[in-house]
Amino acid sequence: MSKALCRTVVVSNPQGLHARPADLLVRMANQFESVIQIGRGGEMVDCKSILSLLTLGAALGTELTLSAEGNDAETAIESIEQFFQRGFDEADDTQSAPARAGSDEVRETDPTSPA
């Protein structure tokens, strides 16, 4: 069985994980066959379900745990992590610089070890 990859990502756009980024996130997740989950406080939801993503209610600054399990898990988790770091590409209006909340907080962990 393949091992699940796990990372912590931070919501870095001002408006949080609202409908449009959630839609894009689901589309991105759907490009991979891996099972991708995201959540916080031990409550993980399907990253391919927009309604589940929205009900996370993740606002700016929320730390989320991201996990991917499957053949393409590595690419999947990379892409999604970068998408979080780019503030869901919501730069059209004002901020075009990628949010700072990224790399130093991202760590790779083994899901079997206590967080």
Partner 1 sequence: MVELQGIPVSPGVAIGPALVLDAAGYRIPRSLLAADEVDAEFARLRDAVDRVSNRLESNRLETSAVAGEHTGDIFAAQLQMLHDPRLQAELRRRIQEEHQSAAYAVSRVLHNYAEALRKLDNPLLADRAEDVLDIEKQLLFCLGAVSESRLLDLDEAVIILSHVLTPSETANLDRRYVRGFCTETGGPGGHTAIVAKGLELPAVVGIGNFLDQVGNRIKVIVDGDRGRVILDPDAETLASYKKRLKARRSLTAKLSELRDLPAETIDGTPLRLSANIEFPHETTTCLERGADGIGLYRTEFLYLSSAEEPSEEDHYQAYSQVVREMDGRPVVIRTLDLGADKMGHRPLAEHEHNPFLGLRSIRLSLRNLDLFRPQLRAILRAAVHGDIRVMFPLITTLAEFRQARMLLNVVAEDLEESGTPHRSNIPVGMMVEVPAAVMMLDRFVEEVDFLSIGTNDLAQYTLAVDRSNEYVADLYQSSDPAVLRLIARCVEVAKEHDRPLSICGEMSSNPARALLLMGMGVRHLSVPPSSLLRVKKAIRSVSIGQCEQMAQRVMQLEAARDVDLYLLDRLGEYVPELIVT
Q: Is position 18 annotated as part of the catalytic site?
A: yes
Q: Which residues lie near partner 1 (CB under 8 A)? A: 15-16, 18-20, 22-23, 26-27, 45-46, 48-52, 54-55, 57, 59, 92
Residue 11 beta carbon to partner 1: minimum distance, rounded to whole angstroms: 11
Q: Which is nearer to partner 1, 92 or 104 (CB)?
A: 92
Residues 6+ apart with CB under 8 A from 49: 26
Residue nearer to partner 1 on the CB measure, 8 or 49:
49
In b/e form, how buried is each residue of 76-93, taking b as 16+ CB within 10 angstroms?
bbeebbebbbbbbebeee
Question: What's the closest the beta carbon of residue 3 comes to partner 1, in angstroms?
Answer: 24
Q: How far is the CB of 41 from partner 1 (least distance, A)?
A: 14
Closest CA to 19 of 30, 27, 9: 27
Cβ contact 107:8 at 8 Å = yes
Q: Which residues are known catalytic residues?
A: 18
